[in-house]
Homo-oligomer: A and B are copies of this chain.
């Protein structure tokens, strides 16, 4: 079977499975999820053996220690994947809920009800646990999934997908509910992205090249999970102690994630005072500061190390202990900077002035806009969603943390007694 045939075959099978999945009760789906968790644990030896092959190849290819760590499965990590599945089983099922309903003057009753989307394609890189996390969220919401993981995790992904499918089948779920693109050829991505007769929505999670490959070929809706250039603005009326706590947290608590801060904007009236303490605290945490001219002047005068920020730094997702710092004259300038350089993911103002805060909340066109709280809260778990497929950087269908509800769509059921249009 050639590559296109393989992928189209997956499409047909997923479409067929999606019709069955859409009609299952929550109880049936949850029983399937629990069986999948059990099967994953029961397949530990098989998963570790498959993972060992990936790790061997990774070492031969000279992958970084951090990447090898992300790729590694252990009994504890397998148990944690299974536990994640059990938690998803315990969450409420959004499918079948009535969103709104009303009766028209002519008596027809219109119900807008939540239904599965159908077939969801997920294209991702690196960590094999995404195979399980993404698949079970789709199963919970009655969607079939076609997964395309990174080449470096292909053996692990095959073993995980096979275990999940066995579990699903044991519990009476369609065997084709979870399908893996069983190849590492790059051409698989544009073929999937062009297959809109079988895939209703595609979710790329990864770097620029992956996102671009999907977006440029996609015929179906794409929900991008792209980068976060998150920006914190400390206003002239900020509580500077609070601002320091937020800035330290947003930058250093976990610098390698999309909701970490990458740029700090300081109102000129508080820049010197703020940097005198917070600047030193950031440096003590190992953060490299890159300043605009005014920030450089202040930091140098305070004896703090600083390098000049290049134009590219304002639109770079460092994912590291690096922070670009700019001094601005007003909240307007802060908002304009965010509009120009930010990625519309998570941005924050620290201020005591409610009117200034409300302006910022209204005018910054980002998925999540914060007043006096760390950008690190942009997360399905922190939002209380119980699980997440990721953080959408798109505006339509799903924006910000994307969880179970965002894996559904709606349809209108209309009940009448013979009404006709006149």
Contacts and interface: CB of A to CB of B under 8 A. Distances in A.
Interface stretch (A148-156, A166-174, A367-375): A367-375
A390 to B, nearest CB: 15
A366 interface: yes
A396 interface: yes
Contacts of A110: 383
What is the total number of copies of this protein in its complex? 2
Interface string A221-244: 110000000000000000100100
Given A361-B413, A376-B421, A421-B382, A216 B219 contact: yes
A57 interface: no
Contacts of A196: 215
Contacts of A221: 221-222, 394-397
A355 to B, nearest CB: 14
A60 interface: no
A419 B102 contact: no
A343 to B, nearest CB: 13
Contact of A23 (B200, B363, B397): B363
- Interface-central residue, A363, A384, A416, by most chain B CB under 10 Å: A416
Contact of A242 (B367, B377, B418): B418
A420 interface: yes
Contact of A372 (B219, B242, B418): B418
Q: Label chain A's interface by main secondary structure.
A: mixed
Chain A, interface residues (CB within 8 Å), range: 35 or more
Contacts of A377: 108, 414, 419, 421
B372 A417 contact: yes
Contact of A369 (B382, B394, B414): B414
Contacts of A368: 411-412, 414
B416 A371 contact: yes
A416 B201 contact: no
Interface string A74-117: 00000000000000000000000000001010001010000101
B414 A370 contact: yes
Contact of A118 (B216, B374, B395): B395
A362 interface: yes
Interface of A: 19, 22-23, 102, 104, 108, 110, 115, 117-118, 196, 200-201, 215-216, 219, 221-222, 239, 242, 245-246, 248-250, 253, 339, 357, 361-363, 365-374, 376-377, 382-384, 394-397, 399-400, 409-422
Given A117-B395, A221-B396, 13 more contacts: A22-B365, A117-B396, A196-B215, A201-B396, A216-B219, A239-B418, A242-B418, A248-B420, A249-B421, A369-B412, A370-B416, A371-B416, A397-B397
20 contacts: A104-B382, A118-B365, A118-B395, A201-B395, A201-B396, A246-B420, A248-B420, A249-B420, A366-B411, A367-B411, A368-B412, A370-B416, A371-B414, A371-B415, A372-B415, A373-B414, A374-B420, A395-B409, A396-B409, A397-B397
